[in-house]
Structure 1
Amino acid sequence: MVNVLKAKERTSERRSQVRELREQGGIPAVVYGYRIDNTPIAINMGDFMKTMREVGRNGVIDLDLEGKKLNVILHEYQEDPIRKEVIHADFLSVDMSQEIEASVRVELSEDAEGLKDGGVLQQIMHEINVTAKPDEIPEAIKVDISHLGIGETISIGEIRGKYSITINHEDDEAIATILTPRTEEETEEAGEAAEVSGTDEGNATTESEE
């Protein structure tokens, strides 16, 4: 599904104008790639958030830059750490007939046999790098871990055949594993080791201050 996002070209990168744009509900952005040079643009925050909710992180957007139509994907973005608002966005213009690389988040199924027996889930890979045509890039790669027991791991090779896209990882790279639960004795030993380490660091600091 292609969604339209309107944009205007920015003529200045001065901080005062960027700040004014944000105060008016806009986002400073840039678009580059297929059929366009690196171009500063401005988009509306509300329109951007609505579009991203509809298409997802890797979805194709129909960017209308003052009448010029481009197929783009959100390449990178910056977020305000406090307000959690997008403060800058980079859009990559793409040729729909050509494959591109993208990072796709990993979505694990909720339950695994090993968890019922007290095992601990360790997700090793949170994103998977893939190559595909822009409109074939999935929003997420879903990995079924329901069969995993304690001490078992699921790797790239076990999911490769479930997707028609190219997965740019080796077959033996681990996605997730179910760890053996720590015994009470191991937990206590780890706690004691941490206390000793903290004491040693404190002594070292005292000695250096002296």
Structure 2
Amino acid sequence: MKSITIKGSKRESVGKVSTKALRNAGKVPCVLYGGDQALHFAADELAFSKLVYTPNVYTATIELESGEKLKAILQDIQFHPVSDKILHVDFYELSEDKEVTMDIPLRLIGNSPGVLLGGNLRNPFRTLRVKAIPSKLPDFINADISEIQIGDKLTVADLSTGDFAILHPDNTVVVQVRVSRLAVESEDEDDDAEGEVAEGAEGEASAEAAPAAE
């Protein structure tokens, strides 16, 4: 998995006054958990743009002024309710021999024949919960839809997981192709039209068979 570097500096004070001063200076107060003790540091708000405002998932390398580098994942982030500015970020330190859990994007591969025939593609999951050691975390989970016809579906059991585990039941549907509503309505209209033609033909036949009135 790709990593983004966040350059930060350790915080000497974690009180409300210092926190407000940091935010006024365009910096974000952060905490790194998972080590022997929590590490408080601050980083420029712009440093989080590629980590937060993206559909992709990355690990983070926290690079401190002392030269220390720590690998982590984004655990929680708080935004201002009005301005959407980043108020606080929590990280969790990674250990190469310890499994972590992350939401990984689901990527559709290929073109579904069912969709080309007018079917409606549905994929309710944009991400899937995955557990693995950091070096085995994938950038994406691929779902091949190149053979999905109308009425077919893909479940978690159909996905290739490799060195990671997907934390959803095997029967969880991740992609399916259904008959589109327009196709159903079109078939109903055709059936109605055929019925009207048949009724008209029967009426004409009855009229011809009836004896003329004297």
TM bracket (short chain): 0.7 to 0.9
Sort the Cα spacing of 1:84 and 1:178 in 2 relative to 1 into closer, same or farther, 3 A: farther
Give CA deviations for 1:151-203 in whole Å, capped at 9, x if unaligned: 1100111113x52212222221111111111133899xxxxxxxxxxxxxxxx
Match of 1:7 in 2: 8
In structure 2, C-alpha distance between the alignment counterparts of 1:126 and 1:96, rounded to whole Å: 27
Instruction: Specify the SS of the correspondent of 2:106.
Output: strand
| Structure 1 residue ranges without an equivalent (≥5) | 188-210
- AA aligned opposite 1:24: A
Task: Describe the SS at the equivalent of 1:177.
Answer: strand
The alpha-carbon distance between structure 1 residues 90 and 122, as it changes in their structure 2 partners (threshold 3 A), is: same
Whether the 8 Å contact between 2:131 and 2:167 is mirrored in structure 1 is: yes
Equivalent residue number for residue 21 of structure 1: 22
1:42-53 to structure 2, matched below 5 A, reads: 42-49=42-49
Amino acid at match of 1:12: V
Aligned match of 1:177: 176
Larger Rg: 2
Q: Distance in 2 between matches of 1:152 and 1:96?
A: 39
**Alpha carbons of structure 1 residues 155 and 62: separation in structure 2 relative to 1, 3 Å:** same
* Alignment partner, residue 71 of structure 2: 71
Kept after mapping to 1: 8 A contact 2:142/2:159: no
Counterparts of 1:4-153 in structure 2 under 5 Å? 4-10=5-11, 11-14=13-16, 17-35=18-36, 37-49=37-49, 57-64=57-64, 66-80=66-80, 85-109=85-109, 111-153=111-153
Q: 3-state DSSP class of the match of 2:92?
A: strand
Distance 1:58 1:84 in 2: 21
Distance 2:111 2:127 in 1: 20
Alpha-carbon offset, residue 123 of structure 1: 0.9
SS at match of 1:143: strand
Aligned length: 183
Report which stretch shifted further, 102-111 or 136-145. 102-111
**1:66 Cα deviation from its structure 2 partner:** 4.3
**TM-score normalised per structure 1:** 0.72
Q: Output the CA distance in 2 between the equivalents of 1:138 and 1:83.
A: 33
Letter in 2 for 1:23: N
CA shift, 1:117, in A, is: 1.3
Aligned residues: CA RMSD = 3.0
Percent identical pairs in the alignment equals 24
Q: Which amino acid counterpart does residue 29 of structure 1 have in structure 2?
A: C
Give, as a single letter, the amino acid of the residue that structure 1 aligns with 2:25. Q
Per the normalisation by structure 2, the TM-score is 0.71
Q: 5+ unaligned residues in a row in structure 2: which ranges?
A: 189-214
Q: Give the Cα–Cα distance (whole angstroms) in 2 for the partners of residues 33 and 134 of structure 1.
A: 14
Task: Give per-residue Cα distances to partners, 1:127-163, cap 9 Å, x unaligned.
Answer: 2122211122112212111211111100111113x52
- Spell out the pairing of 1:184-195 with structure 2 (5 A cutoff): 184=185
What secondary structure, in the 3-state scheme, does the structure 2 residue paired with 1:139 have? coil
